[in-house]
C-alpha cells in the first residue's frame, strides 16, 4: 500500500501538480534527471512518503481510524493557521482550510481572528470565504450549489483609533499559486475588503493538491501580523 501511495504522489510530481516539482528545478544536474524518470527513484519515495504507523507493530487487515489519520492526514482537527514570523513573512496570515468544506451546504467560512499592527496601532482581522450565489431558489447560496466557487474578503473588526481617516491599506489574496492584488482599502469607510467584481470569484476545488486542505494566504502590506494583540 505504501508503494502504491508513493507512486500516486510521484505521478503528481512529474505532471507538475505537486509542491515538490518546484524544488526539482533547483537540484544539481546529476539529480535533476529524476524529472524524466518513468519509475520513482528510491530517494524520492522516502522523501514523499507520509509518516506511516510504526512498522514494528502488528497491524490488523483493517486499520483503525487513528492509523488512517496518521497516513493520509485527514483533517479532523480545528482549522490551522500561522501568522507573521510563524508564516512565511511578517505581513502574512496563512490559513489552511479543509477541502471538504467547499462541498457542504454552508454559505460562508470564517477564519480564526488575528491581528495586524503598524506604527504602534493594532487592529483585529478575520478572513471570510463566501459561496457565490447560484439562482434565487432556496439553498442556492451554498458551496455545494456553487460547486466550490466563492469569494475572499478581509474583515477589520475595529480600525485603530489613531489611524488617519483617509489611510488606505494594501492587501493581497493568494490561493495555491494564484495571487491577486495588491488592492487598497480604507477600513474606516467599510469593515469588509474584497477584490474587484471582475476578479473576485475563486474556483477553490480546481486547485490540485496532495493535501486535504487549501492554503489561503492574505498579506497586509507594511504591517506585522500576529495571533495576539500587541
**DSSP string for 23-38:** HHTTS-HHHHGGGG-S
Same-domain status, 90 and 180: yes
- Mean of pLDDT values over 119-130: 94
pTM over 0.75: no
Picking from 72, 106, 127, the residue at the C-terminal end of a domain is 72
Same-domain status, 95 and 207: yes
pLDDT at position 51: 42
pLDDT at position 174: 96
- Mean of pLDDT values over 191-203: 96
Same-domain status, 58 and 125: no
Same-domain status, 91 and 186: yes
Distance of CA 118 to the CA centre of its chain: 25
d(CA 175, CA 164): 31
- Indicate whether 149 pLDDT > 90: yes
Same-domain status, 194 and 119: yes
Confidence class for position 136, pLDDT limits 50, 70, 90: confident
Q: How many domains does the chain have?
A: 2
What is the domain extent for residue 85?
A: 80-226
Same-domain status, 115 and 208: yes
- Mean of pLDDT values over 171-184: 95
Amino acid at each position: 500500500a505504501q508503494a502504491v501511495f508513493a507512486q500516486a504522489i510521484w505521478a503528481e510530481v512529474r505532471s507538475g501538480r505537486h509542491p515538490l516539482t518546484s524544488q526539482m528545478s533547483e537540484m544539481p544536474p546529476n539529480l535533476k534527471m529524476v524529472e524524466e524518470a518513468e519509475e520513482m527513484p528510491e530517494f524520492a519515495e522516502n522523501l514523499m512518503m507520509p509518516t506511516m504507523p510504526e512498522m514494528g507493530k502488528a497491524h490488523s487487515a483493517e486499520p483503525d481510524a487513528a492509523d488512517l489519520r496518521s497516513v493520509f492526514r485527514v483533517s479532523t482537527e480545528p482549522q490551522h493557521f500561522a501568522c507573521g514570523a510563524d508564516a512565511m513573512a511578517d505581513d502574512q496570515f496563512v490559513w489552511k482550510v479543509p477541502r471538504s468544506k467547499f462541498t457542504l451546504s454552508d454559505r460562508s467560512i470564517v477564519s480564526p481572528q488575528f491581528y495586524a499592527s503598524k506604527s504602534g496601532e493594532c487592529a483585529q482581522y478575520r478572513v471570510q470565504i463566501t459561496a457565490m450565489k447560484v439562482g434565487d431558489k432556496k439553498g442556492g447560496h451554498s458551496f455545494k450549489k456553487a460547486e466550490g466557487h466563492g469569494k475572499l474578503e478581509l474583515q477589520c473588526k475595529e480600525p485603530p483609533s489613531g489611524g488617519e481617516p483617509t489611510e488606505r491599506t494594501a492587501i493581497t489574496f493568494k490561493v495555491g499559486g494564484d495571487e491577486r492584488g495588491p488592492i487598497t482599502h480604507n477600513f474606516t469607510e467599510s469593515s469588509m475588503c474584497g477584490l474587484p467584481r471582475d476578479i473576485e470569484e475563486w474556483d477553490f476545488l480546481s486547485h490540485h493538491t496532495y493535501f486535504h486542505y487549501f492554503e489561503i494566504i492574505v498579506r497586509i502590506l507594511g504591517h506585522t501580523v500576529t495571533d495576539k494583540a500587541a
